[in-house]
Structure 1
């Protein structure tokens, strides 16, 4: 495993996968945090809206209940009948019947009313209810609800939710109870109390509107902190939280989510009640868990896709490099014939192309070195074969020179001396095939002595080479074959005095040695063939290995310069029929450290 991640493919895979995973985790965390904030904000908005609607429903409901009590308290006939004390039984029966009818009319004014009871200060009780009518708790005067009503001053008293009727002991159904004192509006004197019992379903339905989860606890709390009603019917139990915030007149609705519960509270306008909705934050976990699970699944899918993409990208980048490394190992083993063919990124394609060109160049250089070595060995062999006792020949030429000098034949003695020097120069292989321009020009002067003597001064020679170029390295016998061709094919056929010039000039980082004659020149076709032969080095190489040294010419010179310095250097030729020929030998100019420019 460790070795796998040390490869470029493994590291690219690990790097890409790590970056993608980190980015995905960061994006997922930000998305989850934002989604969580939106969910809480949405739930808070829903809770605030629900409790605001519930408070409005309670205001409407209580206003309706209040109007029923007001209608009874404001009924002049009812208050008169309740105060009338007749000794005639018939009149009493009629009065009770009228009182019952008035109460019955109020009873049927709202369908949720289950019982209306009027208790006068004299102890008479008038009731109108669905069943068990007339069954009254004889100890009602000692009850808390009765005392609250008697202590009131005519305002509505909301007694709250009861598990059974507080007046009719046989009535066991849950009821919502409220009431007020009855007054004679003429002299504003209390004549009794009125108690109304209603079905708690409308209140329970209104409370359920506050719930935003199954665990929501809804309470109606009075001004003194007592529980008026709750969604669970647990009127005698206090809420889970103590010190609950209470809305004010300026802030009718409160939303508090700083604890482990979401608390919403609203104040009713008609009664001094506060409606509370307490929702544990754990109840929100279903939607949060669903969001978390969805996000987790998406994250897993994206990581799987990132893994596949990372594998593909790392393989796409690493495969060409592996091919390149395989070919480099082959080159290291000495195989220069292979090449890498890939279609990848531009940078990798450029690297592979550069490697292919380098291998091809190395193969060409090695082949050139082999051929150059073979050619040099053949030339050395031919030179050695031609050296038939060279010391004997040197001594013989020297003897002929002294014999001619004694006889006063100075011209012929110079020719023999030049021939001897040329023979020594061309047959000396101790320094291989290299020489300096200085030595080459000295050899040229010996050769020109022979030519000028043979042509009887019909060739005038000028050599202009600056002293700074005399130590430039070049192949041995470079300029002499060019001058030989100029004399043989350009100057000698004219039969008239001609001029031959040798000069050297610098062009950028190249040294141009020019051999210029004003001889016959060349036809265009002949010049084209000569230039074409200079560009085909292989023809010379094959030919030079089988021919004798007397065939050395321009191609020979060009090929040796090409092999010694590279393809940018060699021989260039220009000629015009009847005007003359210019041959340029292009050589590199070396730096002071010996490195070629």
Structure 2
């Protein structure tokens, strides 16, 4: 309870402190600042939050689509490879061919015998039949521990290519690795192919733009090693793997081997090339598949890759992030423009809304100050219909009533002063009226005595003057204008 009470007390103190601090700021600045702060903060938050969510969603979708692209292309390439593996199976699944291989491999078999030649023709014609009608099969050979066999058509003409140096061939991975795999297919994509396989004896350059399928063949019964079947396949056999993905022209898709790029699907000059980085391929071999951001030629790139199963060949897609996010950047710029427009609009609205409050209040304060200085004729000019207008009307009513009260007091004071002056005048008149009878009485008395002096005593004239003097004496004794009948 004490803690709760302390929290409430702290809250009240903070409330009072905040209100006190705010009251030290003018109404215009207070309203304008708070209005702008709230609106601009909300606008900035909504703008950048929306942009962040939109960018994040675009980034996730881009990563997902690119990953699906390389995955589907890799699957198509794998399907194509499996087709050629199935073609190879036709060779060593032929019992006649296997029997011919076994007979020619028997110790003491005469190389110049008719049976040997018939077996050789059977083997080489079978090799020719595998490649017949398959334009992407450049060469098929079968290399036994004793000698190589070539593609020979029914007329006896040799087709395909040759291994120029059979003795050196036995020391290469093309011969050893298929045996280590115990009959599982092995695909080779290295540059060594051009130094092993040639079109003919006169060719200066070896076969290029190929991948090689190697399969160790064993006898079905005793599992004795018979030789290695080799198929040299043109890389164009995998060109159809990108069908349906022509719209992905913002980047380039590659078939990557141990020695670099094997094939470039739907090449785009404007899109980035695969980075020349040997360490990158090693990382790809370790990971197998993935998507990551890399740098190349001063650009930020996104790389998605996936290894084709049972090979060290990869499908990789490289795209420029700036190109992929060009639409996002346009949205960002639009958001910034909208934000600026909102800020300007908020500034204008805040100014006018705040001014509509502060200016009338300022005018009301000015009128009040003038009224306080005694200028009660000043009135607040109302021009609205809000609470400030009501305050102005009430002030005007108060000023009118105060003015009326002042006028009433002033007139009352004037009337009072007039009454006072009238009373003083009346007293003065009364005094004058008292002074006049004395003056006349004394004058009459002097006249009487002069008349008595002239007449040598009383006379009718002196008696009339005496009676008239008595009349004035009676007026003086009564103190008024009324004389009794008596």
Contact (CA 8 Å) 1:337, 1:363: kept in 2 or not?
A: no
State the match for 2:219 in structure 1. Answer: 184
C-alpha distance in 1, partners of 2:427/2:391?
53
State the match for 2:379 in structure 1. Answer: 338
Shift of 1:355: 1.8
| Structure 1 residue runs without a partner (length 5+) | 1-5, 248-252, 395-419, 421-597
Deviations 1:552-577 (A, max 9, x none): xxxxxxxxxxxxxxxxxxxxxxxxxx
SS of structure 1 residue aligned to 2:150:
strand
C-alpha distance in 1, partners of 2:263/2:131?
25
| Pick aligned residue for 2:251 from 214, 220, 242 | 214
TM-score calculated relative to the size of structure 2: 0.63
Across the two proteins, how many residue pairs are aligned to each other?
A: 379
| Pick aligned residue for 1:124 from 134, 139, 148 | 148
Contact (CA 8 Å) 2:100, 2:123: kept in 1 or not?
A: yes
**373-382 vs 32-41, which moves further:** 32-41
Deviations 1:341-370 (A, max 9, x none): 2214x3212222222212222222222222
| Pick aligned residue for 1:57 from 76, 91, 94 | 76
State the match for 1:140 in structure 2. Answer: 169
Does 1:305 pair with 2:345?
yes
Contact (CA 8 Å) 1:137, 1:167: kept in 2 or not?
A: yes
SS of structure 2 residue aligned to 1:77:
helix
SS of structure 1 residue aligned to 2:163:
coil
State the match for 2:19 in structure 1. Answer: none
TM-score calculated relative to the size of structure 1: 0.52
Residue pairs, 1:387-466, within 5 angstroms: 387-388=427-428
State the match for 1:504 in structure 2. Answer: none
Does 1:320 pair with 2:360?
yes
C-alpha distance in 2, partners of 1:101/1:340?
114
C-alpha distance in 1, partners of 2:418/2:433?
23
C-alpha distance in 2, partners of 1:258/1:133?
42
Residue pairs, 1:228-267, within 5 angstroms: 237-239=278-280, 242=283, 246=287
Change (3 A) 1:187 1:356: same
Shift of 1:303: 1.2
Q: Which has the higher contact order (CA 8 A, sep 6+)?
A: 2
Shift of 1:195: 0.8
State the match for 1:591 in structure 2. Answer: none
C-alpha distance in 1, partners of 2:192/2:209?
4
Change (3 A) 1:296 1:217: farther
Residue pairs, 1:463-542, within 5 angstroms: none
State the match for 1:103 in structure 2. Answer: 127
Shift of 1:74: 0.8
Deviations 1:64-84 (A, max 9, x none): 122111111112233344444
Change (3 A) 1:133 1:244: closer
The alignment yields a C-alpha RMSD, in angstroms, of 4.5
**74-83 vs 383-392, which moves further:** 383-392
C-alpha distance in 2, partners of 1:34/1:369?
75
Change (3 A) 1:242 1:351: same
C-alpha distance in 1, partners of 2:216/2:124?
18
Change (3 A) 1:298 1:46: same
